[in-house]
Amino acid sequence: MQILGFKDYQQQGKRLAQALGLEYLEVAIHHFPDGESKVTLPKTLDDEIIFCRSLDHPNGKLIELFLACQTARQQGVKQIALVAPYLCYMRQDTAFNPGEAISQKTIGQWLGQLFDRIITVDPHLHRIDDLNQAIPDSEAISLSATKLMSEFLASRPNPPLLLGPDSESKQWVKQIAEHTGLEWEIACKQRHGDRNVEIILPEIDFKDRLIVIVDDVVSTGRTIAQTAKALHKRGAQTVNCLVTHPLFTDDAEQVLTKACINHTWSTDSINHRSNVIQLAPLLAKAIKQ
Ligand code: R5P
């Protein structure tokens, strides 16, 4: 078995290969001037391979994975797995207006037809609770980074209060609280647009408290920023945040800085300077099972 990585996700691919004691090889990508991708696989492949690449900025990466997977099949590879710690298109799980694509279902079906096994971490499942419902044609494995996040928080000097910014975050906040014994609360979020969210904090005393906001994704940063602003208004002493998938689109970093977040911590699901938790041991354990 070999791990096939990509230049933009090289460190994580190599760490996974090392954790498994497997050979790391790289898929070469050339971008033509018009934006098309040329995908070249290593010359010699085993019967079983694992592609390792997170699917943030997904559109180009999905096409490249499709080309890589089909080429590997044409070369005779029998078992192909995908390790994508961040799995894209999971948030659009229903048609909110007539004609809208239910991306979770369509992309899930497509990936399931391509790969024999798909491993991801804390996918954003809202209206379903089993990843196999989104990816029916493959062995779909959903891991959770909450234990690693708990260990990280337990190594910090002062115990914080954990706060989830919305009802969807409850699943992760609750698990971390169970592992660490930390206090936790959940706020209420109303989303009015991609960059417009309103946060209503629970009616407890935040004065002089150390708070860690916990969420699965930071994308535009508005959810975390609005939560932090509300906490500061209520007298919180320090606000930090811990997220699984640091997407950080556009001006998200500045938005968080302006909201007076002291530290942002994340897993290495996506490359970002906030990465403090490596997922390789978790992923390797799941692959070995
Ligand atoms: C959605 O409910 C997710 O859990 C995150 O809260 C959301 O994706 C964060 O997005 P943004 O950073 O754009 O507010």
Give residue 126's pLDDT band: very low, low, confident or very high (50, 70, 90): confident
pLDDT above 90 (res 123): yes
Report the pLDDT averaged over residues 269-289: 97
Q: Measure the CA–CA gap between 61 and 37, rounded to whole angstroms.
A: 9
Burial 13-44 (b: 16+ CB within 10 A, else e): bbbbbebbebebbbbebeeeeeeeeebebeee
Tokens of 168: 């969807």
The closest residue, in CA terms, to atom 3 on ligand 1 is 217
Measured in angstroms, how far is the CA atom of residue 195 from the centroid of ligand 1? 10
Give residue 116's Cα distance to chain centre: 21
Measured in angstroms, how far is the CA atom of residue 85 from the centroid of ligand 1? 17
Measured in angstroms, how far is the CA atom of residue 180 from the centroid of ligand 1? 24
Report the pLDDT averaged over residues 82-94: 96
Q: Which neighbouring-strand residues pair with 139?
A: 117
105 CB within 6 A, ligand 1: no
The closest residue, in CA terms, to atom 7 on ligand 1 is 217
Give residue 289's pLDDT band: very low, low, confident or very high (50, 70, 90): confident
Statement: the pTM of the whole predicted model exceeds 0.75: yes
Which atom from ligand 1 is nearest to the alpha carbon of 191?
A: 14
Report the pLDDT averaged over residues 217-231: 98
Largest distance between two CA atoms of the chain: 62
Ligand 1 pocket test, pick from 223, 250, 269 with the greatest ligand atom count within 8 Å of Cβ, gives 223
Average of per-residue pLDDT values in the chain: 96
